[in-house]
Homo-oligomer: A and B are copies of this chain.
């Protein structure tokens, strides 16, 4: 096997570990927590289906899909940082940058650069593609929480204020998705899944 392909295959094998990183969300059948790989797949499906709702008309959907497919790979080394864990968030960037360097560094140089760029773009949330990917990354767990009676929110004592703050950027990238997020949160409060 040529060296370039070997590097790619070694990375693909290493990436299997994303199936062993469990998130705080539970699956809709409540059988277990969701893995990062499953979450990333779900975001890719959502990106394909929901891109028509983005205000920017020339959004590069392949770029969005690439971002969501790779956005959590750093968690193989850095672990899943729960978005509402104020302490863990403090050194999250440092841990994840180190992880990106090691993990994406397994790839041939050009692909390493491409993946680091995609990951940094996602983290910075400036381009329309990154804003859309970021909105999906918040909407997907919201959908899961709203369809599991807010079990994970309750376990962590999360209030609506925090959920509203976390999803506030969505309406800037898509009016329709912004309305959806408001409806989901209001409904969750009304049903008692999320304390006000």
Contacts and interface: CB of A to CB of B under 8 A. Distances in A.
Interface of A: 1-2, 5, 8-9, 11-13, 15-20, 27-29, 31, 34-35, 37-38, 40-42, 44-46, 48-50, 53, 61-62, 65-66, 69-70, 107, 111, 143-144, 147, 176-177, 179-180, 183
Specify how many copies of this chain sit in the oligomer. 2
A143 B12 contact: yes
A62 B180 CA distance: 27
B27 A19 contact: yes
Contacts of A29: 17, 20
Main secondary structure of the interface of A (DSSP, over half): helix
A49 B19 contact: no
A31 B37 contact: no
**Residue in A5, A41, A45, A48 with the greatest tally of chain B CB atoms within 10 Å:** A41
Contacts of A111: 49
B49 A42 contact: no
Contacts of A144: 16
Nearest to A19: B38
24 contacts: A1-B180, A1-B183, A2-B176, A5-B177, A8-B50, A11-B49, A13-B143, A16-B27, A16-B42, A19-B42, A20-B27, A20-B29, A37-B37, A38-B38, A38-B41, A40-B41, A41-B41, A44-B65, A45-B70, A48-B69, A49-B111, A61-B62, A62-B62, A62-B65
Nearest to A43: B41
Contacts of A31: 20
Q: Which 8 A-B pairs have the closest CB atoms?
A: A41-B41, A37-B38, A62-B62, A16-B28, A37-B41, A19-B38, A44-B69, A40-B41
